[in-house]
Structure 1
Amino acid sequence: MTAGLDGRSPVIRRDGEGISRLWGKGSVVTTKLSAEETGGTLGITHFSAVMGERAPRHTHTLEDEIFIIEGGEVLLTVGDSTEIVKGAGVLFLPRGIPHSYLVESETARFYVITTPGGFERFFSEAGYPTGLGNSAPVGESWSVDRTMEFAENLGLGMIWGD
């Protein structure tokens, strides 16, 4: 493909393409576009989430975040407000606002876009290979503490809790 004016090349990813990792309670998280591929502009991650999948309350200090919910039921807490998105919806989260989510339906599908990019590394590095079925490797377990440690080690500038 032809490169753009700044030298970046177009990228096309289809359903099932990208770097997929097992996440949390058995969800699959797929990095669709990385900061490296977009010149740092953004990162895009797709979630095929299962009931109970959640992110504890946290705040991004380095990037804005956009959720594009394709289907399912997701409980979103943003600042002091809590709402359920059933079906499809979009949420824009400017950096600095505490938030969390919880999948309340059997499954949910949504994209997380961060700008600038880089945060998507969190999912590809903290997740487990998808070939393991729907659980962590023997001798390991998924935990919020583990994800917090990965975020800190990657220098993602996240603040946990309020």
Structure 2
Amino acid sequence: MEQVQSASLKAYKRTSALDSSMFYMRSLMSFFAKGEDTGGRFALMEYQAKPGNEPPPHVHEWEHELYYVLEGEMEFYCEDKILVAHAGETIFLPQGKPHAFYIRSPYLRTLILVQAVGEHAVGLDRYFIKMAEPATSMNLPTEAITYLTDDPNHAIRLGAANGVRFLSPEETARELPHYPGFGVR
């Protein structure tokens, strides 16, 4: 577990390009700011995906999460709420609150911002990077593992090491009463 640091930070410029992008669970992620760039205080990523590669219900133990939808539509489940976000809309998910989402459009492009809460550095960017492989193009991959085909224990272990806890089916039913179920369309 890394902690927030007040090291001397340096200015930089970064864009969506192969050297800053990874294939993650059949999606394309570009990392504009990683925790290592910001003293662990926040990370900013662009997420491009199609329906079918959404993560299981989970909780961020160390960070708040904010989505700004650039293209497409997402449906979020957080506690007893269902929140639908279209292009130009923002969803805020507080640290410690169980949540899940579905992509409700044929294509999605969204910014994801995570902000550290307390002494822990952000971990979601590290989780994504450890679960991903370097992008070979700036197009969505067609062949890749998904949460439905990957070893769930691998995701659970990496998640726990980076402040992400996946919910059991029982926790999901209790904490997200309107969530239709993992992998359900």
Could you say which TM-score interval applies, normalised by the shorter chain?
0.7 to 0.9
Matches within 5 A, 1:121-132: 121-131=126-136
The aligned residue for residue 56 of structure 2 is 56
CA contact (8 A) 1:22 1:135 kept: no
145, 148, 153: which one aligns with 2:156: 148
The one-letter amino acid paired with 2:150 is S
CA contact (8 A) 2:18 2:135 kept: no
More helix, by proportion: 2
Which amino acid is 1:143 matched to? Answer: D
C-alpha root-mean-square deviation of aligned residues, in Å?
A: 2.4
- Which AA in structure 1 matches 2:12? V
Alignment correspondent of 2:29: 29
Residue type matched to 2:15 in 1? R
What amino acid maps onto 1:147 in structure 2?
A
- Which amino acid in 1 is paired with 2:84? I
Q: One-letter code of the match for 1:53?
A: N
* Structure 1 length-normalised TM: 0.81
Distance in 2 (alpha carbons) for counterparts of 1:142 and 1:127: 14
User: Gaps (5+ residues) in structure 1?
Assistant: none
Task: Identify if the C-alpha distance between structure 1 residues 143 and 6 changes in structure 2 by more than 3 Å, giving closer, same or farther.
Answer: closer
Contact 2:156 2:166 in 1 (8 A): no
1:55 match: secondary structure: coil
Question: Residue 16 of structure 2 contacts residue 32 of structure 2 at CA under 8 Å; is this kept in 1?
Answer: no
Contact map agreement 1:31 1:123 (CA 8 A) in 2: no
1:11 aligns with 2:21: no
Tell me the alpha carbon deviations over residues 92-141 of structure 1, each in whole angstroms, 9 at most, x when there is no partner. 1111111111112111111111112332011111012323943238xxx8
Q: Is the 8 A contact 1:27 1:50 kept in 2?
A: yes
Distance 2:45 2:90 in 1: 15
Distance 1:157 1:57, change over 3 A: closer
TM-score, structure 2 as length reference: 0.72
- Number of equivalenced pairs: 153
- Following the alignment from structure 1 to structure 2, what is the Cα–Cα distance between the partners of residues 7 and 149? 31
Taking structure 1 as reference, are residues 53 and 14 closer, same or farther at Cα in structure 2, changes over 3 Å only?
same
Equivalence map 1:1-162=2 (5 Å): 7-16=8-17, 19-24=20-25, 26-116=26-116, 117-131=122-136, 133-136=141-144, 142-143=149-150, 145=152, 146-152=154-160, 154-160=161-167, 161=172, 162=175
Q: What is the aligned-residue identity percentage?
A: 20
Q: SS state of the match for residue 95, structure 2?
A: coil
